[in-house]
Amino acid sequence: MKNLLALFLFIASISFSKAQTFQSIERVDAVTGKSVQVESLIRDKALVLVFHSLKCPFANMYQDRIIDLKNNYSNKGITFALVNPEATADQEAELRKFVDDSEVNASYLIDEDLLLVKQLGITKIPEIIILIPGENGLEIAYKGAIDNNPQAANSVSERSLERAINQVLRGEKPSPAQIRATGCNVKSF
Are the CB atoms for 107 and 81 separated by under 8 Å?
A: yes
Domains of the chain: 20-185 (3.40.30.10)
Q: Percent of the chain, pLDDT > 90? A: 77
Are the CB atoms for 65 and 154 separated by under 8 Å?
A: no
Torsion angle defined by CA atoms of residues 119, 69, 166 and 156, in that order, rounded to the nearest 10 degrees: -100
Higher local confidence (pLDDT), 89 or 61 = 61
Q: Identity (one letter) of the amino acid at 92?
A: E
77 secondary structure, DSSP code: T
**Contact residues for 44 (Cβ-Cβ < 8 A; gap 6+):** 77, 78, 79
Instruction: Look at residue 7 and tell me whether its pLDDT is greater than 70.
Output: no
Give the pLDDT of residue 136. Answer: 83
> By C-alpha distance, which of 124, 120, 158, 123 is closest to 142?
120
Residue pLDDT, tens place only, 138-167 = 899 999 999 999 998 899 999 999 999 999
Separation of alpha carbons 38 and 22, rounded Å:
10
> By C-alpha distance, which of 90, 143, 95 is closest to 119?
143
pTM of the model: 0.87
Residues facing 79 on adjacent strands: 47
